[in-house]
Structure 1
Amino acid sequence: MKRLFLIVFVACSAIVYGQKKNAAFQLHIQKAASAVTIDGIMNESAWQQADVAKNFFMVLPMDTSHARVATEIRMTYDNENIYVVAVCYLLKKTPYMVESLRRDFNFGKNDNFIFFMDPFNDLTNGFTFGANAAGAQWDGMLYEGGKADLNWDNKWISVVKNDDEKWVFEAAIPFKSIRYKKGITTWGINFSRLDISVAEKSAWAPVPRQFPTASLAYTGNLIWDAAPPEAGANFAVIPYALGGVSKAYDKEDKAAYRKDIGADAKIGLSSSLNLDLTVNPDFSQVEVDKQVTNLDRFELFFPERRQFFLENNDLFANFGYANVRPFFSRRIGLGVPINFGARLSGSLNKNWRIGLMDMQTKHVDETGLPAQNFAVLALQRRVFARSNIRFMFVNKQSVNYDPGKDTTKPLYSRYNRNIGVEYNLASANNLWNGKAMLMKSFSPGKADKDFTHAANLQYASRHWLVAWQHEIVGKNFNAEVGYVPRRDYVKVNPSVAYLFFPKTYGKILSHGPKITSTVFFNGSFGHTDDETILQYIFNKRDQTVFDVWAGNSYVKLLQPFDPTNSNKDTLATGTQHRWNAWGLDYFSRPQQLLTYNLSARFGGYYAEGTRANLIADIGYRFQPYASIALSASYNHIKMPAPWNITDFWLIGPRIDITFTNKLFFTTFVQYNNQQQNINLNTRLQWRYRPASDLFLVYTDNYYPAPLSVRNRAFVLKFTYWWNS
């Protein structure tokens, strides 16, 4: 027994605390011997003397050979910037494939070069920069070992030059724009190239095909000739000024005029720790949410898009699970003005990260909503090779509020608090991932059944994907600043998938089955829901993906529910419903000018009804200046009276015009007959200098039948990034 225990302990230690996989891949970076001009031309002596990263490895379609398309990388630096140049050679003379010049493009639909930096060499957090072959920039923050948040935006410059044999990317990234540990001379680094004309993704340091090239577990090492220079005083102020007008035609209100000013500030307390401040923030330029047809029994989730909440957002937003989040920043300031706020975030050292946020909202006279304070503390401690333990505390407090004093206004909570801890597992080779979480809430009058626990474990190899997840949410667990659409349940969710790789070269690259089961119980372990889906997936060598699936669903309603969410009638609590369904999905080749995704679902529905759902996403690009997309969803539901036949249409055409990589125009229209609304959102953005913008935003909402205006708004907003 002792010997068996020792074997298991050694094996587990190797899983979580193994050596860095690609440590032998090293690129040396030396201080530039001459000035570097960002023009896409390597005529400076600094580039001739720089070390070269080349001989990339293929990642897709297979990861068993060197890449067919050649790529060469050089890096250098001076006291202000890190410089990168990438020479992306072509197999043959062919036009590049891109969607447009829009920033943070769709990775899979653009020829691109992207690189990933791990300045702490902790295999967990970092930054990503790059561009597509037309020069559109890509930047983001990396978290949880290789997930990219592209909402992060900062100052840097780049140029792309094209000729018949290659395209060249050259960039300068200020040390002030990133966070890194003072004195460290080894960073994690990897470079990724996607050439969709030959359907090949490659990387300098090899990455197994089941993982994204952003996986920090597989970075090589960037070796500095000396410790990177300190960024120095890093202080930036981003003031804004806006004017606007809006009118609610359906309420016959007079036009309301806006004249606002406010500012954000970024203060670099160290090279790895940042303080963000905001006063009277405005988010009018943020793109509207993409609507969905709502046939769900619970609240829908829409992602955060506001820039202030996004840097180091993983510390706050990724605690918990998709449907068990103690903190969801969209609970702050949507529909309620924010007075001011502050956020301290970043790394204290190689092992510790901190996130501290405090936001203050205004009092709303019309509804009696008191001024509220939102405070969040997140602490993260690295353990083993890539795992971590995270602590979180969330507090929502009503300021100077006496509940019930004004009987004509709704009641609001005096406070709500959540405290919790979670362990995030990430093995050194990325094959094993998982987490375990425990949370408790504190609310007036609720002192029991206010815990939640969840855990998952996943194994992902080239052939196998095996996962387990469970959640236990107490009846009185209350996260008013979080997203927990369902309470008082126990959920188990196992899944297994396997991929076959044909031994002979053909059109099919891989194929295999996947089975997923989700089962819900109530707090007393009474069975309430389940769904089991068997899917078979085909991946073609040209990057086409096709799958078919069949499933069985069971629901015991825990409260009255209208299965069309259209206020026709409700099904009674306790009624039981079971149905079978099947469907298919098809994703076309990304290297075509015309791309499309098609999905279909047919089968049963509540009350022995039937539901057919057809979804299509179609896009066409006029390279590189414009792309046109159309998303359409049709639901045909047939049920007994009083629902009878219900048809739901959701249609969303979108036009993106990128006159240059600094001037963008977007028009987005959504017709949703479930909500009886037509929404028009247009936005013109001129990035007249790095991270400084002029926005023109126009929004319309209409009743579709008869066609008439509900409300209309126009905003002109000017922002300027000034830094020391």
Structure 2
Amino acid sequence: MPFKYPCLLAAKTLLIVVFCLTTCFYAAAQKKNAGYKYHIRRAASAINVDGVMNEQAWMQADSAGDFFMVLPMDTSKATVKTEVRMTYDDKNLYIIAINYNSVPGPYMVESLKRDFNFVKNDNFLIFMDPFDARTDGFSFGANAAGGQWDGSMYEGGKVDLSWDNRWYSAVKNYPDKWIWEASIPFKSIRYKKGIKEWGINFSRNDLKTAEKSSWTPIPRQFPTASLAYTGTLVWDEAPPTASSNVSIIPYALTGLSKDYQHNTKTEYKHEIGGDAKISVTPSLNLDLTVNPDFSQVDVDQQVINLNRYELFFPEKRQFFLENGDLFANFGYSDIRPFFSRRIGLNVPIDFGARLTGKLDKDWRIGAMDIQTGGSGSVSQAPENYGIITLQRRVLDRSNIGFLFINKDATANIPGTNTGSAAYNRNIGAEFNLASRSNIWTGKVLALKSFTPGVSGHDYVVSDHFQYLSKYWTVYMQEEYVGKNYNAEVGYVPRVGYIKLSPLLLRNFFPKQGDILSHGIQLTSNYFFDESFHRTDNESILSYLITFRNRATLSVSGLNDYVRLLKPYDPTNIGKGLLPTGSEHNWNTIDVQFVSKPQNVFTYLLEASHGGYYDKGTRNSITSLIGYRFQPYVNIAINTSFNDLRLPQPFGHNTFWLVGPKIDVTFTNTLYFTTYVQYNQQIDNININTRLQWRYKPASDLFIVYGDNTTPSPYTVKNRQLTLKWTYWCNL
């Protein structure tokens, strides 16, 4: 019986693959907006990037305008006028966007900081797909105050803003418009020699009118970043081949730290290291790193942890991010065979190499090798991590991917351990469905782990399928994770289960009034053990309302059932344990409201009331309040309060989490951030302060201060101060 359901799931998975291939077959044709073409010509004169359209090259360039409205509705042309022109020379791609006003009033911007929040800023963005494959590409843009935006694109419409490169832009404001002008070096983007047609689209977000628009028509349920709906950038001649493209990015740092809890001496730190970026081909990049340092990376946002399984915190280290989707997006959010934050956890990274990019229009490759050092303080031996992934585009926008992961101990140091075994390996394959219109999407996944002394129940089979239209969303996901499946370089918080996750959403669109759309949504997550006995499930019935000013309201009813598979402390502070096999069932009501983004004062408020484990009760309030002094200061306060009332030995517990954050952008190259987090559950106050001066594109000077303290009595645990310099040098 234990393998009955997994075998059925495997058979069903095969049927889904056949259905997906059949569904996609009709889509392997001309793309949706192929008729929208922009013809780009070589510049007739030199261009000075200053936000002023006075060069002869701009006068002779073609113009793209007459945008389509995407939000609030996708049934008409945009009411705000936008005009775009592009040109190029031997070294750079140039773009200028004239963003006209339709109503008076100041522009709405969050700050001058790079990679701003799309929803809270008047902005203009460009999405480029150099291979016209409709799966990956690059995005550039700016808000109305000149704050830059850049990111790499993946999965047909997602933007990874952690990607960072060298380019130049300027914004100039006029009484009736704001103009963004940019110069993007061909060295900064990946493309293949000789391709004369790229995918392209332009997006405008205008908060005064609550309107989002696009050069090509896009259904409102999809983001304007959706590469399925790009037009075509037609070059008058093949884009220039970038000259030798090698970048060296050294760093040097000095700092000091002290551990007050153990009363150690102040530790002084002096380090050098760096990265190198080498373009093997214009579309294939080799990244090298030696003794990398990540002291300037943002701290994780803390949460009140009332979960039975490990929490997920995203990767923020720059080395792992470019084309990171090749590695990190394999699998699902709770089945990640590769999770780069496992590498260098409490131990230093000595060196590493990554080869990522496109071999041609259909093939993408990713290969990574990382060597870590050992650490006697955490009893960890040196280890080597090798990852290879290969992705093949099939049937228009779908792809088949393969992944191999190897973790090996590279030394046997007395008194240290090498993890759960001397090695751990994973191999897997997945098929990702994406129809031409993006209405049908899905995935089929299979994984197998290899660990010394372990066999059987060590594989994963999973799939999902989604239909997404203006009125309906239908989703179904199934997972089987064997009890012996082991991904030591992954994030798989739970093993030995079968999961069913259906979702059904129906939207309604009133013809007039303050409500833009409303709908009812039913979701559920059912978990079973390998013998198909139910262990827990959560079902949620929600009513969702979106107002025309972009504010949202949701009201949800939740039903939870849990049969504990091991002892559990529902407070997570060590007050006691509920026994294995005990059953718990409760209901909760939850209400959330998010204010319209047009105001300088914005807020999110959420409150819930309901039951909890052991016939207890849980009341919680969450808020995110923001205020901005445009465009220089942005203040946000994240607050969470949980009130738990349980029988003894747990009793009555209250947990506060308060996290104020202040961003000051003196200019678009000088930023100051202070983040304070008080977490009552772990009895800790964390302060992280960072001053960043971008003295040249992609070159920075950082001053970072951090400490952890016990609030009562106020006692310092540790403190750190770091000064770091980086420099981006193109050879």
TM-score (structure 2 length as normaliser) = 0.96
1:147-197 CA deviation, whole Å, 9 max, x = no partner? 110000000000000011000000000000010111000000000000011
Distance 1:706 1:329 in 2: 37
**Are 1:325 and 2:336 counterparts?**
yes
Q: Which residue of 1 aligns with 2:3?
A: none
- Decide whether aligned partners of structure 1 residues 705 and 620 sit closer, same or farther in structure 2, where only a CA change above 3 A counts: same
Pick the aligned partner of 2:38 from 27, 39, 57. Answer: 27
Q: Residue 61 of structure 2 aligns to which amino acid in structure 1?
A: A
- State which of 436, 448, 454 in structure 2 corresponds to 1:428: 436
| Aligned pairs (5 A) from 1:521-670 | 521-670=528-677
User: In the TM superposition, what is the alpha-carbon distance from 1:12 to its structure 2 partner?
Assistant: 2.1
Counterpart contact for 1:18–1:427, Cα < 8 Å: no
Provide closer, same or farther for how the CA distance between residues 511 and 411 of structure 1 changes in structure 2, counting only shifts above 3 A.
closer
Cα shift at 1:9: 9.9
Structure 2 residue 683 is the aligned partner of structure 1 residue 683 = no
CA–CA distance in structure 1, aligned partners of residues 419 and 91 of structure 2: 54
SS for the counterpart of 2:97 is strand
Question: Is 1:178 matched with 2:189?
Answer: yes
- 2:154 paired with 1:147: no
Structure 1 residue 365: deviation in Å?
2.4
Q: Deviations over 1:451-498 (max 9, x none)?
A: 011111111100001000011000100000000000000000000001
Q: Residues 186-265 of structure 1 correspond to what in structure 2 (within 5 A)?
A: 186-265=197-276
2:465 paired residue number: 457
- 1:271-295 Cα offsets, whole Å, 9 max, x none, are 1000000000000000100000000
Shift of 1:257: 0.5
The match for 1:165 is 176
Which residue does 1:701 correspond to in 2? 708
Contact 2:123 2:142 in 1 (8 A): yes
The C-alpha deviation readout for 1:67-93, integer Å capped at 9, x for no partner, is: 000000000000101000000000133
Could you tell me which residue of structure 1 aligns to residue 313 of structure 2?
Answer: 302
Whole-angstrom CA distance in 2 between matches of 1:282 and 1:631? 29
What is the CA distance between 1:642 and its match in structure 2? 1.2
Shift of 1:17: 2.1
User: How well do the aligned residues superpose, as a CA RMSD in angstroms?
Assistant: 1.3
Q: CA deviation at 1:643?
A: 1.0
Q: Distance in 2 between matches of 1:675 and 1:266?
A: 41
Which of 415, 429, 447 is matched with 1:439 structurally? 447
Deviation at 1:368, TM superposition (A): 3.4
Q: Which residue of 2 aligns with 1:519?
A: 526
In the alignment, is residue 313 of structure 1 matched against residue 320 of structure 2?
A: no
1:99 corresponds to: 110
Instruction: Say which of 361, 366, 372 aligns to 1:355.
Output: 366
Q: Is it true that 1:62 corresponds to 2:73 in the alignment?
A: yes
- The CA distance in 2 between the partners of 1:158 and 1:390, in whole Å, is 37
Q: Aligned pair in 2 of structure 1 residues 409, 318: CA closer, same or farther (>3 Å)?
A: closer
CA distance in 2, matches of 1:333, 1:510: 46
Give, in angstroms, the shift of residue 370 of structure 1. 1.3
Displacement of 1:644: 1.0
State how far apart, in whole Å, the 1-side matches of 2:203 and 2:377 are: 53
The separation in 1 between residues aligned to 2:704 and 2:560, in whole angstroms, is 44
Alignment correspondent of 2:485: 477
Match of 2:427 among 408, 419, 430: 419
Write the distance in 2 (CA, Å) between the matches of 1:364 and 1:653. Answer: 34
Flag the 1:522–1:72 CA change in 2: closer, same or farther, 3 A: same
Please say if 1:448 is aligned against 2:456. yes
Q: 2:124 aligns with which of 89, 95, 113?
A: 113
2:389 aligned with 1:378: yes
Q: Output one character per residue of 1:123-156: Cα deviation in whole Å (capped at 9) or x when no partner.
A: 0000000000000000000000011100000000
Q: Distance in 2 between matches of 1:628 and 1:364?
A: 39
Q: How far apart, CA to CA, are the structure 2 residues paired with 1:572 and 1:721?
A: 57
What is the identity percentage for the equivalent residue pairs of Structure 1 and Structure 2?
Answer: 58
Checking the alignment, whether the CA contact within 8 Å between 2:383 and 2:411 is kept in structure 1 is: no
5+ residue gaps, structure 1, are: 1-7
* Alignment-mate amino acid for residue 466 of structure 1: V
Q: What is the DSSP-based 3-state SS (H/G/I as helix, E as strand, rest coil) of the residue aligned with 1:269?
A: strand
Partner of residue 9, structure 2 = none
Query: Do structure 1's residue 500 and structure 2's residue 500 form an aligned pair?
Result: no
Q: Does 1:720 align with 2:727?
A: yes
Tell me, yes or no, if structure 1 residue 364 matches structure 2 residue 364. Answer: no
- SS for the counterpart of 1:251 is coil
Give CA deviations for 1:337-376 in whole Å, capped at 9, x if unaligned: 0000000000000010000000000021234321100000
Q: CA deviation at 1:502?
A: 1.0
Tell me the distance in 2 between the aligned counterparts of 1:93 and 1:44: 28
Give the Cα–Cα distance (whole angstroms) in 1 for the partners of residues 20 and 652 of structure 2.
Answer: 60
Does the residue aligned with 1:288 lie in a helix, a strand or coil? coil
* Residues 90 and 475 of structure 1: CA distance in aligned 2, closer, same or farther (over 3 Å): same
The aligned residue for residue 167 of structure 2 is 156
Matched residue, 2:56: 45
Q: Paired residues, what number? A: 714
